[in-house]
Each structure stands twice: as C-alpha cells, then as structure tokens.
Structure 1
Amino acid sequence: MRVRRPVLPLRLRACALAVALALPALAAAEDAADAVTLDRLQVTTARLRDVPAFEVPASVTTIALDGDAAGQGVALAEALAGVPGLAARERQNFAQDTQLSIRGFGARSTFGVRGLRLYADGIPATMPDGQGQVSHVVMAGAERIEVMRGPFSALHGNSSGGVVQVTSAEGRAPTRGHLQASIGRDDARALAASLRGAGDVLGYALAASRFQTDGWRDHSAAERSWLNLKLHAGLPGDGRLVLVGNHFDAPDALDPLGLDWDQLQADPRQATGVAHQFNTRKSARQDQLGLRWEQPLGGGHALEAMAYAGQRDIEQFLAIPAGAQANPLHSGGVIDLDNDYGGLDLRWRWGGSLAGRTVELTAGANADRQRQHRRGYENFVGEVLGVRGALRRDERNRVDNRDLYAQAWWQLADRWSLLAGARRSQVRFDSRDGYVTATNPDDSGRVDYARTTPVLGLSFAPTGHLRLYASAGRGFETPTFNELGYRADGGAGLAFDLAPATSRNLELGAKWRSGAGAQVEAALFRVDTRDELAVARNVGGRSSYRNVGRSRREGAELSAALPLATDWSLELAWTWLDARFRDAFPVCTGAGCTDPSVRVPAGSPIPGTTRQQGHARLRWQPRAWSFALEASGSASTAVSDTGAREAPGHVLAHLEAARTWTTAHGRLRGFARVDNLFDRDWVGSVIVNEGNGRYYEPGPGRGLLLGLRWDWSAGAD
C-alpha cells in the first residue's frame, strides 16, 4: 500500500510562513514597544554565557523540566514532543535506543543516534565517529533540555546536524528532593527519586530511577536502572568545580525486531519469528565521570576546562541464520563490544567592548578518543540457537579527533548583532585486526578526515519584541565505525574508501515575544549535501554503505507558546521538511542482494524523513487541578531508498489530568494520562532499508498511566 501525501507548493508554504512572521511584527508595532525582559539563561549549545537565546541568530528551544509532566520520566522522547524540526521516536523496543533526527539529519540511523551532537551536563554522548546514544540520560535529575538546529550546530564538530544538551539540576539550600512512582500498560513500572542540597562550599544533586516493563509487543520485556551524581564547589576568585558521575545498566532487553507489512496488518503486537528462534536481545552497561572547572581571571577573561572518561559495554544477539555465517568473511551473529572513551576541552572566554559595543569572544581546543574492542561470535553451538559460539571477529578500533574552534558575538550597532565562528576538525580512524586466518585476511587499516566549518549569523531588532536573523555555514559528517565496518563490494577489510558528507546550511528566521509571555518562532532552512551516505547492500544481516552524491533538506518550522484566557495556555509546533536525493544511484533490494541493479531516481525522498509533523497542547489549570489535551501527528514516512513502501501517517490524541495538594511536608501531585485516546493503529518508528523488508515498528494502542509525585523541602513548614 502506498500512501499519497497532499503536498503544497513551496511558494505557497513560504507565503504562509511570511504571513505568520508578519503578524508578530504588526502586533509589536501596535504595542508600547517597551523592551522585553530577556531570560539571561546561558545558551549552552551556542557556547554563549551572557547572550540571551532571544539574541542568537539560530533556532534554539529550551525545555524546562519542572516536575509537572504527566509521564514516566524515564525517556528523553517524552520531553521533546513539542520541538519543531526534531523527530523523537520511541520504538517500543528497549534493545534499541530512541530514534532522534533534526531536519532530516540522523533519520537513516537503524540503531543509536547519528548525525547529531548529544551532551549530558556538558559531557559528549556522541563519540568522535558521530555515533551516539541517549539511553544513559537520567531524566529523574534533569532540569532542562536545550535543542539547537541550523548552521551553528557545526561549531560542535563532526556529524552535527543538530545539538541536544541535557542539563541536570544542581544542589542548593535548603535541602530538597522528590519521589515519583508510576504504573502503566504492559506492567510498566517506574520509580524515581532525587536529593539536592548545598552547604557553604559544596553542593550536591543525586538522582536515581528504575524502569521495568513486560513490553507492549511480544518478546520486548526490559528493565533499566540509572544513577547520576553531581557535585559542585566554589573556588577562590569566584571559580567553580563540578564533578558528574553517571551509571546506566540495561541487562537482557528483548528485541522483537521489525515487522513486514503483512505482519503489521495481521498483528502489530507480535514479534518476528526469528526473534524467538534466536532469542534476540541486548545488554548495555555504561559508567562515566566528568569534571568541569571554571575560573574568572579578571578584566572579563575566564578559563574553562572539562575532562571526561567512561566505558560502555554491549552484548547483542542477532537473528542471523547459521547458513549466512558459512561465509569465512562473516563476523557472526553475536556482537561483543567493549568501548572506552574520554576527552578534554579547554577554552578561553572574554567579555568586554569593541568600538564601544558589547562583545563576547570564545576560543578553545578539544580532543576526544574512542577505543573499541569489537568481537563477533557465531550465534549457535551445534543445533542450539541464540547462544555464543565460535569466535569470528576480533578487532581493536580507535577513532580520535583533534579540534580547534573560535567564535565571536558582537553588538555591532543598536539594532544589529553578529555571531561568527569556525571549527577545524581532524578525525582519524584506525583498525587493527586480530582475527586473521587462511580464508579471512588481515583487515587492518587507517583513514584520516579533516574539514574546516565556518558559520556566520546576523540578527536585526526592528523592535524590542522582535528579532529577524539570517545565518549560513558549512558542516561535515564522517562515516561511523559501524558504517565503515563492511565494504560495499563484499571484500575483506573496512570501507576506508567512504568520503565524509559535506553540507552547506542556510537559515532565515524570526523570534517574537510579548510582554504578556507569548512567544512565536519561525524559520526557513535549506541544507545541500555532497557525498551523502546511503545503504549499498544488505547481505548476511550486515549493511554496507556508499557515497551516493547530492541531497537537499529544506523546509520550515513554526512554534508558539500562547497564554490564552485566565488559566488557559496553548503550545503549537509544526514542521515541514522536504528531504530528497538530488542524484540517481543504484541500490540492492532484498536480503542477500549483491548486485545493485535497482536505480533510485533523482528526487526520491530520503528514507526515515516525514514531510510534515505537528504537535499541539491545550492546557487548563484551575487552582489545584491541571488538565491537558494533546494532539500529535506526522505524514507518511519512506522506509527505503526506492520509496516502494511507506509507513502511513497518523494523528493521535492524548489526555491528562493532575491534582496537587500542598501539605506541611511538601507538595503531593497525582496524575493520570491516556495515550492514543482513540486507540488508533500507527507506526511509531521505522527501520530504514531493512534487508528483509521488516521496516515497521508499530506504536502502542490506547494506554493508561497513573502516577504520584512528592516534592519536599527542608524549609517547608
């Protein structure tokens, strides 16, 4: 079944957006034109300390996590639903990470997050090769999330199609904490707690949570545990030291795999037969430490340094038939990956004046490393399937980056400001093969990539309530180690012939805020990419990649937060994205294909992207009660390069209610939420270019969540 999508011409959409931008400008002109009181919150993703997000010529969304959400509080995607330009998809498969993409970057990832830069308390959650994950983020202790889209993402280095930064709360006096418990469908149980406080010198914040579920689909039970500790201390001269420790454990998460179209129609809750046959599952464990130091030096100068180190271990059992592993070059059906990583960042800041105008300068250097010991084993012993068998792969892989960066923000005139920067990135991949036989030659090798990515943005303030801006920049994206792992011609060794994808990024935008608290933001963007990476073929359960030429991602974003009548508010977010290959290229179709004879025509949509998506939330807060009605939806999604199949679009409704009681011992809040209120069938996520045609990961039907949260403070009467 192919779903037809209504498509409006680009000019019509641009006109509609222009009207949307003009309305706030007219409103501002009719206002008293008093300057808006701006939020002085540090723009972490833009690496600016004293410049409000309102003044930055970039699309930046900050989400405050105040404890009032009616959710389990364990998944990052719960908090990202209303961010324009960002697709956050929970897969109902805890053996795989949340799917994140921003303006089409990262959409093709079949596992983990790639093409984006991820941070938790300033510590990179994206490795130097561009592969990242968010499973270890402790939402129980998070205070805010910052999402940046557009050209300035490139200042974060390789594979930066967008930036997501999660910041945990810090300890302050008086001592306070919270305890939250919730239960939901499929015996899902979540328990979370936090404790924060501070003395004269040392502050602390501890957060922990645990989640268990039987899974909405068959063969999808999972459990996860998180722990996060944040310590901060003052130093002489207004200096500051912050230590962050993090632990994550997810043992034996069952993997139901994707479904093909017929299976999806017959029973969306089923698991693929081979998932049972091979008992497909994944275990992940991660521990890391990070240390940040900040020291003012006087005269507006300051130094900042950050160091971090961690270890992430993965064991995964795949559903690869024993026959496919008869090829002596095959690496087996069990992945055993020990991953050690770490890095350093040192930067200098200066805030002062230039030609009598405010200026803020930043310059720095960072180095990151990733050390992998990757082993592969057969997933059978004799006739017994789903167990670790003979060794088939033994590699020690290394990837390092060495980057220099600088940026400057300058208030060059009363109504004009400039933000400019550049980054020089050098990324080196090195592999040492320890599994060499007469039929499996030495696969060792090395490849280096280097690019300079300049960015420039200009902001204009026609009134105190409105900002118009334009920005442009370049970016690049190296292949990850997973994409380098197999050559497109089926030969031995890694695919060191792959070139990095390079991009030119343009954005026009507007931001409006009223004195009454209303906010509207809109942006038009276009990204042209060369040497786009795409799947070349799927053989024996393994995907190999090739560079396929040019692509373009263009579209529009609109978001609004509108206070309505007393106790009423409305939040809106809408994204239109047209992401397409601009060059034709040949591909393989179907499992086992080795001859790329099917041609993908120029103009075909990039799989994993959706043409439109939207989110609306209407909230009513009469006194101690709170009610909200949400609607979310997206257009259909291409699941393969050929576009022969699509995941149908959907619109879902959600309803929630909460009641708060203020007591002498703190605040007690009970909440209930009904997801997918009308029990619609829908596809929650897709597995792009899945070789067996099992593209679809169905979303859950109607479900009820009940929860209770207690917030307390030592200062409460």
Structure 2
Amino acid sequence: ALSWTRRTTAGGLPLQWTAGVEANGMRDGRTGFVNNNGTQGALRRDETDKASDYGAFAQFDWTLHPSWELVGGVRASRVKLSIDDHFVTAASPDDSGSTTYNNVSPVLGLVWHALDTLNVYANLGRGFESPTLTEVAYGPGGVGSNLGLQASTSRQGEIGVKWQQQRQRLEAALFDADSHDEIVPLSNNAGRTVYQNVDGVRRRGLELAWRGGFGEQVGAAANGVAGSRYEAGLAYTYLSAYFGESFLNAQGQTVNAGNRLPGTARHSLNFDIACRPLPPLVLGAEMHVDSRIYADDLNTQAAPGYATFNLRAGYEFRLGKTRLFAFGRIDNITDRKYIGSVIVNEANGRYFEPAPGRRFFVGLRAAM
C-alpha cells in the first residue's frame, strides 16, 4: 500500500486530502478427502485457489466554516478470484475458472461542531463486498464451485451526535442500509456451506454508547476517564435486519419478505464498571445481554436470548525499569449454559453451537 496526505487550503479554508493505492494477494492450497466415519479416506479434492484485489482511493476533509466540516471520498476496487482444479475425473469434472468484480464506492459526510463539546454528523455512501474464496468453494448441491456468486452492493446512511465534557462521553447514531445481491447462506450440509445472492436485505437501527468517570483517583494519570476512581460504560444496539423481498430457499420453500435475517440479534447490551481502590489495582465487572437470534431463513428455529457476567482484576507494579501489569478474568461466572452461535440453514437441523461455560484467564504484560 502507498498513500500520500497533504494539508493545504481551498477558498482560503483548511483542506486535508489523502490519495493512495493498495494491492493484496492470497494463494490457498485446498484439499478434501472422503470422510469414512471420522477416518480420512481417499482424495476427493485438490485445487489451488487465488484471490487478488487492487484499489485506488482518495478522501478529503474540508473545513468550510469554523463550525462546519465536509468530508468525502471515493474508492475504485477490482477483485479477482480464480480456481485451478487439479483433481479431474469422470465423476469430478474440471471446476477451474475465474471471476472478476469491479466497483466504485463514494461517500460524503457533513459534521456540525455545534458546541465545543458537541458534534452532529451525517454520512451517506455506497458499499461493496465481493465473495471470499470460502464463499465460492461449493456450488449448488455442495458440488463444484460457485464462481457465479455476485458481489454485494449497498447504500448506507447514518446520522448521529457525539458529546464529551470532562469525564463523560455520549454517542448516539441512527443507521440505515439497503443491500443488493446480499451474500447469505443457502444451505449448510456435512460441513459444506453454499451461498446465494438475495436482493433487498435491509438493516436499520440505533446505537447508543456512554462512558463516564467519577471520583478523583490520587496518583492516576488524568487522561479521559483514566483519572477517575470509578469508571462505567454502557452500550446498546437495536438492529432491525430483515429480508425486504421474498425468495426461494434450498428446499424450494418461500421465504417471506419481512423475515428476520438469521444470525442477528435485535437487542444487544453491554455494561461494565471498574473501581480503582488503590492506584496500582483495578477491579471490574461486566455484563453482556443478547436477545434471541433466528437460525433459519423461515424463522422457525431460534436460539433464546441470554445474559452473561464477567469479573476482572489487574495490578500494576515495577521491577527496576520494567513496568509490569498482571491481570486476570473470569468469564461467565454463573456458568450459564447458552447458545453461542448458530449454523444458518443447517440441512440436518443441527443449528445450535453451545458457548463455553465458566472460563478463567490470567496474563502478564511488560513494558520498558
């Protein structure tokens, strides 16, 4: 990657712009074998997969007025995926091939510095997401490749506010995104995930975040809320993600418009609080809550919501010129049994994957 940034003026007002190019490449040797009840059998797949992408971008930040800032940018992308099949037989025809995706994505935003402590902003842009090598690995029915999978494009908008005063920070944002050719799982069978494109997937929601510090901590560095004896944070996300158009699933059943997007929680909440009873010691507690998530496009199977609680502690000390920080945590202290993730559209009904139980973690960090 190579980029160039310059500060200048436009119309006598400050302007900063950046332009650059980047390139990425990956080569993946993929093999597969017959599964004989857990024992590796004969070779059934041998190929070389390649992915490359090239991009050029430019962005600017222009202070139109002491209270107004205009930001924008554009990115041109070219992504190529290719498969070189080395396992070609009468029962397994040549799956070699390649596909290329091209896109130009613009974004434009406006920031209003309403007060020294308050910013109001709005952004509008277009997104681009090409398939990955994993997503094109299996074609319909779990055989061959899926190089006909299209890239997903989206239109996204966001408005929000950011407020900070002394040791308090508050952020709020409303977002809206509509996608075309969204890449979603069609089926999961025997460890093989087949993906498809679906139009009209929509995501709308709200994000709220607050962090604050209370009480003076003698001997602590005054940086944000770091100088506080007590510190707390709260983050909440409301997400309405659903299919805006009906389509057929792998079994030929109709997925109705309005069904929720599998694997997404409508409500998500995180809360943490920390106390520094002494400058070198910090104690903390955390809570995480997720509402239920659906595991299939038809919305007939769902993992129930859950809440987990964690504890953490840390202690800073010195050995000569070395600054050491010993820390530890206990996650899921109540040993709650819950579903940690789902396998969307699993063909045999094995949708749910259990999360770990109570977990312990300790570590030591050193700095000179």
Match of 1:686 in 2: 342
Which of these residues, 49, 62, 74, is aligned with residue 397 of structure 1? 49
Quick one: percent identity of the two aligned structures? 37
Match of 1:455 in 2: 107
Match of 1:502 in 2: 153
Larger RCO (alpha carbons 8 Å, 6+ apart): 1
2:178 pairs with 1:528: yes
Letter in 1 for 2:92: N
Q: CA deviation at 1:526?
A: 0.5
Counterparts of 2:355 and 2:189, CA distance in 1: 28
Which of these residues, 411, 420, 430, is aligned with residue 82 of structure 2? 430
Counterparts of 2:192 and 2:332, CA distance in 1: 35
Counterparts of 1:669 and 1:366, CA distance in 2: 38
Asked whether the equivalents of residues 676 and 701 of structure 1 are also in contact (C-alpha less than 8 Å), the reply is yes
Asked whether the equivalents of residues 541 and 691 of structure 1 are also in contact (C-alpha less than 8 Å), the reply is no
Counterparts of 1:481 and 1:637, CA distance in 2: 27
Counterparts of 1:710 and 1:499, CA distance in 2: 45
Match of 1:625 in 2: 281
Q: CA deviation at 1:528?
A: 0.2
Which of these residues, 528, 539, 552, is aligned with residue 202 of structure 2? 552
Letter in 2 for 1:613: S
Which of these residues, 465, 478, 482, is aligned with residue 117 of structure 2? 465
Unaligned runs of 5+ in 2: 217-228
Letter in 1 for 2:171: E
Q: CA deviation at 1:483?
A: 1.9
* TM-score normalised to structure 2 length: 0.89
Letter in 1 for 2:151: P
Match of 1:99 in 2: none
Match of 1:442 in 2: 94
Counterparts of 2:366 and 2:134, CA distance in 1: 43
Q: 1:512 to 1:669 in 2, by over 3 A?
A: same
Asked whether the equivalents of residues 187 and 344 of structure 2 are also in contact (C-alpha less than 8 Å), the reply is no
Asked whether the equivalents of residues 479 and 498 of structure 1 are also in contact (C-alpha less than 8 Å), the reply is yes
Judge which range, 366-375 or 525-534, deviates more.
Answer: 366-375
2:260 pairs with 1:598: no
Write the deviation string for residues 232-274 of structure 1: whole angstroms up to 9, x where unpaired: xxxxxxxxxxxxxxxxxxxxxxxxxxxxxxxxxxxxxxxxxxx
Match of 2:264 in 1: 609
Q: CA deviation at 1:478?
A: 1.7
- The secondary structure found in structure 1 opposite 2:134 is helix
Q: 1:486 to 1:666 in 2, by over 3 A?
A: closer
Q: 1:458 to 1:640 in 2, by over 3 A?
A: same
Q: CA deviation at 1:464?
A: 0.9
- The secondary structure found in structure 2 opposite 1:440 is coil
- The secondary structure found in structure 1 opposite 2:231 is strand
Q: CA deviation at 1:687?
A: 2.3
1:337-356 matches, cutoff 5 A:
345-356=1-12
1:13-28 matches, cutoff 5 A:
none
Q: CA deviation at 1:365?
A: 1.6
Structure with greater proportional helix content: 1
Letter in 2 for 1:375: T
Which of these residues, 221, 232, 237, is aligned with residue 570 of structure 1? 232
Write the deviation string for residues 33-87 of structure 1: whole angstroms up to 9, x where unpaired: xxxxxxxxxxxxxxxxxxxxxxxxxxxxxxxxxxxxxxxxxxxxxxxxxxxxxxx
Q: CA deviation at 1:665?
A: 5.7
Q: 1:457 to 1:712 in 2, by over 3 A?
A: closer
Match of 2:162 in 1: 511
Unaligned runs of 5+ in 1: 1-344, 589-595
Asked whether the equivalents of residues 668 and 708 of structure 1 are also in contact (C-alpha less than 8 Å), the reply is no
Letter in 2 for 1:653: F
Asked whether the equivalents of residues 187 and 346 of structure 2 are also in contact (C-alpha less than 8 Å), the reply is no
Q: CA deviation at 1:375?
A: 1.9
Q: 1:652 to 1:424 in 2, by over 3 A?
A: same
Q: 1:642 to 1:666 in 2, by over 3 A?
A: same
Match of 1:643 in 2: 299
Q: CA deviation at 1:601?
A: 0.9
Asked whether the equivalents of residues 430 and 447 of structure 1 are also in contact (C-alpha less than 8 Å), the reply is yes
Counterparts of 2:360 and 2:145, CA distance in 1: 48
* TM-score normalised to structure 1 length: 0.47
Letter in 1 for 2:337: D
Q: CA deviation at 1:674?
A: 3.1
Match of 1:370 in 2: 26
- The secondary structure found in structure 2 opposite 1:565 is strand
Q: CA deviation at 1:366?
A: 1.7
Q: 1:349 to 1:542 in 2, by over 3 A?
A: same
Instruction: Count the aligned residue pairs.
Output: 355
Counterparts of 2:342 and 2:304, CA distance in 1: 11
Which of these residues, 565, 580, 585, is aligned with residue 242 of structure 2? 580
Counterparts of 2:191 and 2:117, CA distance in 1: 55
Match of 1:137 in 2: none
Judge which range, 672-681 or 352-361, deviates more.
Answer: 672-681
Counterparts of 2:323 and 2:333, CA distance in 1: 29
1:478-493 matches, cutoff 5 A:
478-488=130-140, 493=144
Q: CA deviation at 1:373?
A: 2.3
Write the deviation string for residues 332-353 of structure 1: whole angstroms up to 9, x where unpaired: xxxxxxxxxxxxx222221122
Write the deviation string for residues 626-649 of structure 1: whole angstroms up to 9, x where unpaired: 222221111111112121111111
Letter in 2 for 1:619: A
Q: 1:428 to 1:704 in 2, by over 3 A?
A: closer
Q: 1:456 to 1:389 in 2, by over 3 A?
A: same
Q: CA deviation at 1:488?
A: 1.9
Asked whether the equivalents of residues 666 and 710 of structure 1 are also in contact (C-alpha less than 8 Å), the reply is no
Counterparts of 1:551 and 1:352, CA distance in 2: 41
1:649-664 matches, cutoff 5 A:
649-662=305-318, 664=320
